[in-house]
Amino acid sequence: MGDLNADMEKNTPPYTAWPAQPRQKWSKLTTWLAGLALALFLISQYHGRHVSFLPCRNKDRIDDWCPLPDAITPSGDGLRDSSHLMGTERHKLQAERLGTAVQVPTESFDDNGEVDEDPRWKTFDKFHQVLEELFPLVHSNLERQKVNKYGLLFKLQGSNTSLKPVLFTAHQDVVPAGSHAEWKYPPFAGHYDGTWVWGRGAADCKNVLIGLLSVMEDLLSQSFSPKRTIVLAFGFDEETGGVRGATRLNQVLLQQYGKDSFAFLMDEGGNGVKTLGDFMYAYPAVGEKGYYDAELRLTVRGGHSSKPPPHTGIGVFAQAIVALEDQPYTPVLPQWSPFRRALECNAKYSPHSVQPWLKDALLHDSEEVLARRLGEVLTADRWLMQTSQAVDVVTGGVKVNALPETVTVMINHRVALHESVDDVNRHIQSIVEPIAQKNGLQFRDLTKADSDLVSENSTLLAGTVELRSGQLLPPAPVSPTDNRVWAVFSGTLRSVFETSESGLNKTVVPVGNIMTGNTDTTHYWDLTRNIYRYSPARDGTRLDVHATDERMLMEAHLEGMRVYYDLIRNFDGLEDE
């Protein structure tokens, strides 16, 4: 996993000036530089196409911000252009495929039991049968492996085993649909109105799963035989953490391929494609915030409520909750933050669509001052710079005339990339411990290794407040955006979206960003450094995800298929470094 700052320092060369050299040494230096330039040019050629590497970035030069990759269109492999995936007939075919997949209610629940014990998992048997019927070529030509009964691994073996495989992932499960009466169309009808497919999972993320399998079916119909192995991995409990699905799939992939064995991994997620004037910004997520549930548990002596103390246990925790919410985490925008790169792109190419002071602030403001100013105007995006905290569960008391003896508070955190779970624990302790002491309570941090030690004076106190760790996940490592894999990945995005109907006469700017939520990629960190969380769809084409009336615009679904299709072809023609 490693330290993010250390990783960035390793991957980013220092910006140092050339030292003064005697005149007679310049001829050797010039020869060396010419040789280096020639070597870089040669290794960046494949199939007659040039892949440009992103230059070293000088944060003090606006011209160096946000270099654009070359648009890369596949050629020379005898396959049809990805534009053939668009059109009326394909539109109808994909609406039928996606609608059929939505009709199978693959809901996952927080209280699901094991796959062999809980009958609610059996709906996935039906879903697998539907996939077999929809994609006969995939099931007859790819090796399929079931992992923990319902996890799916597909492999199309490449002819060149020296090339790292590519890995595409998605999940089969959906969140529960809630009250069906609230939906415009029944959530598992897979209704197609001529433009949208409606239903639970239509946009999260059966659109991705069906899109990937449809692309493979199309390639196989053209007798596609890859040089580079292609792997598809589909979990079945992403919406509840991926413990039974992606975790087990990862174990199998590590056994079969080893660590750092894939060229890249592409999963759902990201921030789509947003249009600002003549520029379209494609935002794959190259990092994810961490996840941490902290529990505060207060234990005091009970008694009759006719003789209460100044503050009951609930009253003490009411003070603590107010204090925590009055002292939120500080937003910070580090120089290495992917969100900072996205802002630099916006400021450079769409200056009239951002705050007029942004460009100057990116150059001169401190990381804290800039984040604070941005947080005041970008209320949603402040969470890309700041650890969030939400008091979501409070329990305590069993009877109205009995003083509560135990009170529990659950606080959910999404940990910013520049912070850690330890930082969160220290923050909580700094606020809650003084309140506990003021009320005669002992504070105990049970998240530490020596947390089983109890103070000798604890028996003299009225009770305790304990800090305990719940589910936790550190922030994800940031995937690099200065290597050849990113150049091909982002160049493919440019090629596809600039040739889509909505992108004609526009420039597409691919730039990595951050996700505030988590995907199944949290289980796959050891497989590759190049992890891109990206559902390739324009803004406003995936609506009401996790909500009533979820739906997917079919034109955007087809555009996303073009991305998968061209990525497979471009990477099949690329020699590994």
What single string gives the DSSP state of each residue in 150-162? TEEEEEE--S-TT
How much is the pLDDT for 88?
A: 92
User: What string of DSSP letters covers 35-67?
Assistant: HHHHHHHHHTEETTEE-PPPPPP-TT-GGGSSP
The CATH architecture that domain 82-286+476-572 belongs to is 3-Layer(aba) Sandwich (3.40)
How much is the pLDDT for 46?
A: 40
- 263 phi and psi, to 5 degrees? -65, -45
Tell whether residue 204 is among the known ligand binding residues. Answer: yes
Question: How would you write 271-327 as a 3-class SS string?
Answer: CCEEEECCEEEECCEEEECEEEEEEEEEEECCCECCCCCCCCHHHHHHHHHHHHHHC
CA pair distance 171, 562, nearest whole angstrom: 20
Q: Active-site positions?
A: 173, 238
Residue positions counted in the chain = 577
How much is the pLDDT for 177?
A: 97
Does residue 248 sit in helix, strand or coil? helix
Tell whether residue 456 is among the known ligand binding residues. Answer: no
Tell whether residue 546 is among the known ligand binding residues. Answer: yes
**What tens digit of pLDDT does each residue of 74-90 get?**
999 999 999 999 989 99
For residues 269-296, b (16+ Cβ closer than 10 Å) or e, as one string? bbbbbbbbeebbbbbbbbbbbbbbbbbb
* Residues sharing a CB contact under 8 Å with residue 281, sequence separation 6 or more, in sequence order: 273, 274, 275, 342, 345, 346, 508, 509, 510, 511
Contact 71, 500 (CB under 8 A): no
Contact 307, 384 (CB under 8 A): no
How much is the pLDDT for 13?
A: 31
pTM of the model: 0.86
- 394 phi and psi, to 5 degrees? -130, 125
How much is the pLDDT for 462?
A: 76
Please state the domain extents for the chain.
Answer: 82-286+476-572, 290-329+387-473
CA pair distance 282, 274, nearest whole angstrom: 7
**DSSP 8-state code for residue 482:** S
- Stretches where the chain sits below pLDDT 50 are 1-31, 38-56, 453-461
Residue 281: strand pairing partners: 274, 509
Return the CATH fold of 290-329+387-473.
Answer: Alpha-Beta Plaits (3.30.70)
The closest alpha carbon to 46, from 577, 575, 576, belongs to 575
Give the Å distances, CA to CA, from 156 to 147, 236, 257, 415: 17, 21, 14, 37
Q: How many CB atoms lie within 10 A of CB 17?
A: 5
How much is the pLDDT for 457?
A: 40
Tell whether residue 413 is among the known ligand binding residues. Answer: no
How much is the pLDDT for 453?
A: 47
